Structure 1
Amino acid sequence: MPLEFMTYGEWDDALWAAIEPLYREAFPHGAKPVNILHAMLDKKIAWLHAGYQNGKMAAMAVTGLSGSSAERILIIDYMAIDTQLHRQGLGKQFLEMIRDWAVQEHHVHAVLIEVEAGNTEDDVARVYFWEHCGFIATSYVHQYIWIPEPYRAMVLPLSQDFVITRDGQALFRHITNFHMKSFRKSGD
């Protein structure tokens, strides 16, 4: 069953009420507080994406942009599929919808995500999913001060001109800058 894809650039409490259970289930630790997500949309640095199946919330994502127009990158901050719908191809379908939206609306040259760099079964499964979707894992492992688990950048190049730095450190500058903008108070 195909997903109905919607992108939202403004905060809506009713929309969030539908998305939040999926968000909380997928990200019980390390999720941004709701007020930060709300502010990200208010500051116009992020979008909420929703995937509906039979009128019910099946998928969600939070994305933002980084880089100049010549090397624009879409950062997937969060993406989740309802666990009852896993292994049906919805994650890949939803990702393709996000990618297509980003290319059409923002002319992105790559899609970037950070994934846990640990060796747990869940960590390995996440990396496998992103690789299955065409993402390339970088070797650099980033350790945040405030989050215990290490992360690795994975990138999906969308143009021939996009240069992949295999170590991933340069890609993490995009991710870090996006996080800094996310937590920065308006007017700063």
Structure 2
Amino acid sequence: MEAEQLQLITLEKLDEKWWPEARQIYHQSFEHGRKPDRIIKQMFDRRLSFLHVMADKSAVAAMAITGKAENGKALIIDYLAVKEEYRGRGLGEWLVKALAFWAASELQLQKLIIEVESEQLPENDLRKRFWQKCGFRMTNYVHTYKWIPETYQAMYLPLTQDSSQAVIEDGQVLFKQITAFHHQSFR
């Protein structure tokens, strides 16, 4: 399965056609640190999130769960994963580009936001390099959650070149948006 054979499908509800396979990729990719299924279901029931699948006519190769930031100007990538057998083919980058195009054209958003583990570990450095390869910029602020021992940094991808739409690069401001999204998710 190559990127040219796939299409981006975006859903506001967890459906019976795409969610079961996307859920399997989600569970395989995020053994630790994933939100429980009941919270994911609640996020969609309350219309806080979007499910994006990269698929051909019958199979899902990659998935993402996103949500709009409270200020309505950014899309937060909560989870993004490529099915294990399709990794290393550029599908993750293709999915990020498709999300960026969709967020800018369909929702008129100004940026994508992601949080990454800040600790200097090989697996964390690999993830940071992936996001940087996709065009994301790292912020300096290191965030500590009260309930999670790891520290995080925000990365962002500007979606507009329009100088009248200033992209906030302050990590603390971005984490206020990320934290607000997580609070809404768990309410």
- Structure-1-length-normalised TM-score: 0.90
Q: Which residue of 1 aligns with 2:182?
A: 179
For residues 120 and 96 of structure 2, the distance between their equivalents in structure 1, rounded to whole angstroms, comes to: 24
Amino acid across the alignment from 1:141: V
1:36 pairs with 2:49: no
Amino acid across the alignment from 2:75: L
Name the Cα RMSD after superposition: 1.5
For residues 147 and 174 of structure 2, the distance between their equivalents in structure 1, rounded to whole angstroms, comes to: 19
Contact 2:66 2:76 in 1 (8 A): yes
Q: Which residue of 1 aligns with 2:169?
A: 165
Please give the per-residue CA displacement for 1:102-147, whole angstroms capped at 9, x wherever unaligned: 1122100000000111111110000001001110001111111222
Amino acid across the alignment from 2:119: G
Q: Which residue of 2 aligns with 1:77?
A: 78
Residue 171 of structure 1: how far off its partner (Å): 0.4
Q: Which residue of 2 aligns with 1:144?
A: 145
Secondary structure of the residue that 2:150 maps to in structure 1?
coil
Secondary structure of the residue that 1:19 maps to in structure 2?
helix
Q: Which residue of 2 aligns with 1:133?
A: 134
Moved over 4 A (4+): none
Secondary structure of the residue that 1:178 maps to in structure 2?
helix
Q: Which residue of 2 aligns with 1:94?
A: 95
Structure 1: segments with no counterpart, 5+ residues:
none
For residues 26 and 119 of structure 1, the distance between their equivalents in structure 2, rounded to whole angstroms, comes to: 20
Matched residue pairs, number?
A: 181
Secondary structure of the residue that 2:105 maps to in structure 1?
helix
- Structure-2-length-normalised TM-score: 0.91
Residue 11 of structure 1: how far off its partner (Å): 2.1
Residue 67 of structure 1: how far off its partner (Å): 4.1
Amino acid across the alignment from 1:82: K
Residue 164 of structure 1: how far off its partner (Å): 3.2
For residues 122 and 51 of structure 1, the distance between their equivalents in structure 2, rounded to whole angstroms, comes to: 24
For residues 174 and 24 of structure 2, the distance between their equivalents in structure 1, rounded to whole angstroms, comes to: 30
